[in-house]
Structure 1
Amino acid sequence: MRTAEARDVGRAVDTERYPLADPGGAAWAAVVSRTRAELAESGCCVLPDFIRPDLHGALRAECAALAPRAHYGVETVNAYNIDVNSPLPDNHPGRITVKRGNAFVARDHIPADSIIGRLYTSEPFRRFVAGCFGLPRVHELADPLSGLCLNVVNPGMEHPWHFDTNEFTVTLLTQGPADGGAFEYCPNIRSADAENFQDVQSVLTGGGGHLIRRLTLRPGDLQLFKGRYSLHRVSTVRGATARHTAIFAYSERPGVIGSVERTRQLFGRVLPEHPAAEGRAVRIDRLLD
């Protein structure tokens, strides 16, 4: 590991609890093993105070300063993020639509020397993430707008029920709301082989409470999550303070760039790299997105 990278990680991360600089060591292996077990059981694991508590204020301030650069847009969506006019049976959960009004700050607006910018590009952090998900390695996205972004959920808004396109997600809460904004999820409600539309329909229509787990995250907490198979949402944010979350997107293969349509939805624009990469996506299953 390069000395500068180790120093950057040590300044931001509580390396006594999360020894990123010692891959394969006993403490590193213990954290990774515990995280893998939680991911296998529920598809979710939270590492509290992953960022050193004395840096929580700086983390919040850096990301709060970026929030005004978010692209805001309200759109009608379904849990699968597919065209709401898709021909589906009458009782299909994809026919249930809601308004989504959260927002994202694109990667090209996030300084490389910010706390989240340094963490995203850190080799020790990528190695740790790969280990936790049981992967040989993960890669930064080649996408100039996604990969690293900041999610902003303003008061009165929510991030409604949905599935992720990526099999795994890594997020860091940088600012918590005054009230509300809980993370709710249904562990492994579907699999690569089965959509389980009946249970999904139940949750989307207000039932299925026994399938839902709830988390109230704190600033500095790192969340690892398998969102491809677990329906999830952020409940309505209340009070005067927005909820800010850094999203670290990695891939098992290099060179990944988002689609033109999805990129425009999230960031309100595309760059030349996006149309150039169209048609190169590789699906990992036959599920709806």
Structure 2
Amino acid sequence: MLLNTDRYPLTRPDSVEWRATVCHVRTALRDDGCCVLADFIAPALIDTLRAEGAALAPEAYYRTETVNAYNLPLDSPLPSGHPGRITMERGNAFVPRDRIPPDAVIARLYALPEFRRFVADCFGLPAVFPLADPLAGLVLNVVRPGQEHPWHFDTNEYTVSLLTQQPEAGGVFEYCPAIRSSAEENLDGVRAVLTGGGKSMIRRLTLRPGDLQLFQGRYALHRVSPVLGGAARHTAILAYTERPGVIGSVARTRQLFGRVLPAHLAGAGTSVRPDALLD
């Protein structure tokens, strides 16, 4: 059994238990922009989950670079005082989808039809589709000791992730729910957080292996704080979209994975943005 069905009876769509869990998630997303379902993976698989992630981590593409919260080019013509002018060092790395074996726990979860239906129900969507991108659909995010995943926004409105290895210290997920909307960037609020203020807007989560996180990352500024100690932080990111066939851009794919595939080149210039936000 892949899921902790004692806590989350997701093998029975439309059951009272299924609807109760979906209601809980929707309420948390509405009020906080984030929901964590603790111990989502079956307890007997937690050691396997951790071991598989540790075995995959050396496959990550490492590229320390200077970035801003919007992933804009650093020479973008932004006005003085714009938060996009504030730079940070990004040291996290990604294991691409084509390095993750199909029998791994995270790959089985990603492909599970009941799980896709559950994700769609939680986000109030008729259906979700696995990202068609051969590298970015399912990835393992690796943050090594001394590194961090700095403040940023997600490209997708909805984010699904699963912690597979907890660091010894640090590596806390920090976020500012609904700091912006599809119609308003709230540059002042973003700048306050990036410059060390805005502490009242920041919430923090310490996750454990097997915890599932559903998150509205397009509108929440968020980061993983510096990882401390001897163990890296590993998180599987499961990317779904509202329509089939979505492929990442050539530039972004090369930045994250150091390479592109024919599918990215074929889809160049055809991406559709859900809004007019900066990133």
Quote the Cα distance in structure 2 between the aligned partners of 1:247 and 1:284: 20
Residue of structure 2 equivalent to 1:230: 220
Alignment-derived partner of residue 5 in structure 1: none
Post-superposition Cα deviations, 1:255-282, rounded to whole Å, max 9, x if no partner, equal: 0000000001111100000010011111
- Quote the Cα distance in structure 2 between the aligned partners of 1:261 and 1:90: 26
For residue 175 of structure 1, what is the amino acid of its counterpart? Q
Confirm whether residue 66 of structure 1 aligns to residue 51 of structure 2.
Answer: no
CA distance in 2 between counterparts of 1:259 and 1:101 reads: 21
Distance 2:45 2:130 in 1: 24
> How many Å apart are 1:20 and its aligned residue?
1.5
Report the counterpart of residue 76 of structure 2 in structure 1: 86
Within a 5 Å distance, the mapping from 1:111-150 to structure 2 comes to 111-150=101-140
Match for 1:250: what amino acid? Y
**Displacement of 1:54:** 2.1
The whole-number CA distance in structure 2 between the counterparts of 1:84 and 1:25 is 50
1:249 and 1:275 map into 2 onto residues whose CA distance is: 20
- CA deviations over 1:98-144 (Å, ceiling 9, x no partner): 11011000000000011111110111000000011111100011111
d(CA) in 1 for partners of 2:181, 2:28: 17
- Which deviations, in whole Å up to 9, do the C-alpha atoms of 1:68-106 show, x marking residues without a partner? 000000111100011111000110000001110110000
User: What does residue 268 of structure 2 align with?
Assistant: 278
The answer to whether the aligner puts 1:250 opposite 2:240 as a matched pair is: yes
| Partner amino acid, structure 2, of 1:180 | G
Task: Check if 1:168 corresponds to 2:158.
Answer: yes
Displacement over 6 Å in runs of 4+: none
1:51 to 35, 38, 41: 41
Question: How far 1:16 sits from its partner (Å)?
Answer: 2.2
1:181-220 aligned within 5 A: 181-220=171-210
Is 2:93 the counterpart of 1:103? Answer: yes
Moved more, 253-262 or 18-27: 18-27
Q: Report the AA paired with residue 153 of structure 1.
A: V
d(CA) in 1 for partners of 2:246, 2:212: 23
| Other-structure match for 1:24 | 14
Letter in 2 for 1:237: V
Q: Distance in 2 between matches of 1:156 and 1:59?
A: 23
Q: Matched residues in 1 for 2:5 and 2:138: separation?
A: 22
Query: For 1:46 and 1:70, how far apart are their aligned partners in 2?
Result: 26
1:239 alignment partner in structure 2: 229
Where structure 1 has 5 or more consecutive residues not aligned to the other structure, the ranges are 1-10
Distance 1:50 1:256 in 2: 27
Unaligned runs of 5+ in 2: none
Aligned match of 1:179: 169
User: What's the CA shift for 1:52?
Assistant: 1.5
Q: 1:212 & 1:135 partners in 2: Cα distance?
A: 28
Shift of 1:53: 1.9
Q: Percent identity?
A: 67
Which among 156, 159, 167 is matched to residue 146 of structure 2?
156
- TM normalised by structure 2 equals 0.99
Alpha-carbon distance in 1 for matches of 2:7, 2:220:
28
Q: How many residues align?
A: 279
What is the root-mean-square deviation of aligned Cα atoms in Å? 0.6
Look up the SS of the partner of 2:106 in the other structure.
helix
Q: Note if 1:12 corresponds to 2:2.
A: yes
Q: Quote the offset at 1:17 in angstroms.
A: 1.4
